[in-house]
């Protein structure tokens, strides 16, 4: 699904099946997905829910995939024992933000502008290269924008990354 969605990117509009969804529960499900796919890696995960109301109108399947992708990346691009923090926050203007922060390898500054591009992978030193197609973050941006939101990254090489997904409540 991700490969097809990413490949058609800006050429075809994504059809969303929005429904009222409990965002904290959706994130819990994404965490379970990642735990099932990467069970051998040691890590700690902390979730901080600062939402007064966790209900948002989204396509739960698409967003669950986005959050699972961000969590999977946090694990893939880090050493054993990585710490991941997931924060849910809201603004008075009707937006919610989900941030995934890790203390992994981080991303070189020169790579940040290309990060969401199709098939782009951050060049890694021998022993840190990871398998993949370079479509996960392209897919994430595509889905988040289809929801009327935005995705951003802050990162420093050697200290980790924070990916923030900002979504309208409705």
| Better-scored residue on pLDDT, 124 or 40 | 40
Q: Name residues whose C-beta falls within 8 Å of residue 142's C-beta, 6 or more positions apart in sequence.
A: 5, 6, 9, 14
Q: Name the one residue in this structure whose structure tokens are 């502008």.
A: 113
Average pLDDT across the chain, whole number: 88
Q: Which of 56-70, 100-114, 130-144 has the lowest mean pLDDT?
A: 130-144
pLDDT at position 122: 74
pLDDT in tens, 30-49: 999 998 887 778 899 999 99
- The dihedral formed by the CA atoms of 141, 142, 144 and 149, expressed in degrees to the nearest 10: 90
pLDDT given for residue 41 in this prediction: 81
Residue 133 has pLDDT above 70, yes or no: no
């Amino acid at each position: 699904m991700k490969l097809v969605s990413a490949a058609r990117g800006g050429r075809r509009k994504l059809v969303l099946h929005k429904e009222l969804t409990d965002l904290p529960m959706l994130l819990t499900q994404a965490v379970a997905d990642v735990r099932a796919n990467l069970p051998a890696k040691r890590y700690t995960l902390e979730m901080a829910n600062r939402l007064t109301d966790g209900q948002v109108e989204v396509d739960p399947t698409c967003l669950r995939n986005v959050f699972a992708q961000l969590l999977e990346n946090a694990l893939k691009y880090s050493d054993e024992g990585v710490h991941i923090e997931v924060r849910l926050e809201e603004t008075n203007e009707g937006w919610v933000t989900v941030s995934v922060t890790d203390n992994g390898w981080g991303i070189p500054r020169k790579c940040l502008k290309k990060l969401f591009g199709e098939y782009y992978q951050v060049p890694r030193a021998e022993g840190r290269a990871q398998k993949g197609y370079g479509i996960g973050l392209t897919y994430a941006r595509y889905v988040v924008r289809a929801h009327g939101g935005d995705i951003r990254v802050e990162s420093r090489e050697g200290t980790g990354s924070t990916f923030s997904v900002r979504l309208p409540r409705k």
